[in-house]
Structure 1
Amino acid sequence: MESWKSHVRARLLRRDQTEKLPFAGVFTSLSQLEERFEIRKQVLDDVHSKSLERGGMEVGKNTRLLQLQLRESEHLAEKLSQTVSDLTAVLYLKEGELQYWNSRVSQYRQEAHTLAKGRNTLKATLSELEFTLECQSKELAALQAEQKGLKEAMAQARREKEELLQRWMEEKREEADRLNKYNDTQERLHRLTKQLKKHLHREMGKEYVPALTSP
């Protein structure tokens, strides 16, 4: 942020130096010309008063020469005065621009201060979010490890369930086989008993028949 302020300040100073440097000697030259003008005017007044007292051709020539020089000086003084007026207007304009840019710099400084505060706030928020993210990452890793353990335990329980189901089905199948064999045995015993009873009835019938027919 300080580098930005230094850059703006350096640009403003360089602009002022560039725009004011060509006119740095104008006021000095104007003062010198005004001083020369006053001296020549005073000399001309002195010469004019002496020429009235003494008279003569040579004095008249000097008077005309001094009048020409005086008009030259007056012309130069007028030009320099106009130049000074123009430069004064330019300086007022530049001062207005400088005040405007100073106000803009103040505004930018305030905005930069506000942005710096916002940046610090965002930086603090980012730090909190990073800390929260780190904690959540650790919790997620722990949950993933726990989930992996639960999946392994579930897979083991499923395998044990399938093994138990297979043993139970095998036992039930063996029990069904034993029951079927028992039922077959009982059915054969029942048929054999029935046959024996029929055979016994027939034998007993044969024994009783002669006894009934005897005298």
Structure 2
Amino acid sequence: MESWKSHVRAELFHRDCRQRDPFSGLFDKVSRLEEMLDFHIKLWQGSSKENRNSTETECPNEGGTLYLRVNELEFLNQQLKQKIADLTSSIYLKEAELQYCHSQVARYRTEAVLLAQGASCLKSDLEEYEYQLECQSKELTALRREHSTLTEEMAATKLQEEELLERWLEEKKQEAERINKHNATQERWQRLAGRLKKRYRGKSRPPPCVAANTNNSSDIKPTEANI
């Protein structure tokens, strides 16, 4: 609350107190006087009826004053008894309320002790959980580092594997090309050898015309000799 608002509120409270204090006890006094006035009126009415019915000669002022005084004292005595009874009943009620409050305080005290014990247990559990959480966080950090290291190693291994696979494929390709070249060379040599063999065989056999001439010459020679 702002300062000027609190100041205005305090001034209004003091003004109410100053205006109410002079009249604080007047309402109670007026109520008591009204009760006494009603009581006096009733007594006066009763005494006037008795004076009319009575035949004795008494001084009205003295008899009426004493009668009113005695009845007033009896009325005040009854009021005091009633107040004492009310105060006694209120005291009993207050004592019962006090006992109930004491029982409630004892119950709340036991509950507070139990709650304090539970709070201490929860605090110890919380400290233990915090310690476990700290250890697990450290383990998690170490595992993350290890995971990152393994991931890097796996990436490097995969790269090496790809390089080795490419190299193996390249070597196999080169080997296949080399085998193909070798096979092609072998085929050429075989073809060439076949051609050479065919030519060699053709050269080692006499052609058919030469063989026929030799045969004829052998047949003619005896004749020439005979000649």
Residues 62-211 of structure 1: pairs in structure 2 closer than 5 A: 65=65, 68-206=68-206, 210=211
- 1:80-130 deviation line (CA, Å, top 9, x unaligned): 012101110111012101111221121111111111111111111011101
Q: Distance in 2 between matches of 1:156 and 1:84?
A: 102
Q: Distance in 1 between matches of 2:152 and 2:64?
A: 124
The DSSP-based 3-state class of the residue aligned with 2:205 is helix
Q: CA RMSD in A?
A: 2.5
Q: Distance in 1 between matches of 2:142 and 2:193?
A: 74
**In the TM superposition, what is the alpha-carbon distance from 1:73 to its structure 2 partner?**
1.9
**In the TM superposition, what is the alpha-carbon distance from 1:71 to its structure 2 partner?**
3.5
Q: TM-score, normalised by structure 1?
A: 0.66
Determine the structure 2 residue equivalent to 1:34.
none
**In the TM superposition, what is the alpha-carbon distance from 1:70 to its structure 2 partner?**
3.6
**In the TM superposition, what is the alpha-carbon distance from 1:207 to its structure 2 partner?**
6.5
The letter of the residue matching 2:136 is Q
The verdict on how the C-alpha distance between 1:200 and 1:134 changes in structure 2, with shifts beyond 3 A counting, is same
The DSSP-based 3-state class of the residue aligned with 1:176 is helix
Q: TM-score, normalised by structure 2?
A: 0.63
Determine the structure 2 residue equivalent to 1:4.
none
**In the TM superposition, what is the alpha-carbon distance from 1:206 to its structure 2 partner?**
1.9
The DSSP-based 3-state class of the residue aligned with 1:206 is coil
- Larger RCO (alpha carbons 8 Å, 6+ apart): 1
The letter of the residue matching 1:165 is L
Q: Distance in 1 between matches of 2:74 and 2:172?
A: 138
Q: Distance in 1 between matches of 2:77 and 2:98?
A: 30
| Greater mean alpha carbon deviation, residues 182-191 or residues 62-71 | 62-71
**In the TM superposition, what is the alpha-carbon distance from 1:62 to its structure 2 partner?**
6.5
Give ranges in structure 1 of 5+ residues lacking alignment.
1-56
The verdict on how the C-alpha distance between 1:212 and 1:87 changes in structure 2, with shifts beyond 3 A counting, is farther
Q: Distance in 1 between matches of 2:200 and 2:61?
A: 195
Give ranges in structure 2 of 5+ residues lacking alignment.
1-57, 219-227
Q: Distance in 1 between matches of 2:77 and 2:101?
A: 35
The verdict on how the C-alpha distance between 1:212 and 1:174 changes in structure 2, with shifts beyond 3 A counting, is farther
The count of corresponding residues between Structure 1 and Structure 2 is 158
**In the TM superposition, what is the alpha-carbon distance from 1:147 to its structure 2 partner?**
0.5
**In the TM superposition, what is the alpha-carbon distance from 1:157 to its structure 2 partner?**
0.6
Q: Distance in 2 between matches of 1:90 and 1:73?
A: 25
- 1:18-69 deviation line (CA, Å, top 9, x unaligned): xxxxxxxxxxxxxxxxxxxxxxxxxxxxxxxxxxxxxxx99x9768755643
Determine the structure 2 residue equivalent to 1:10.
none
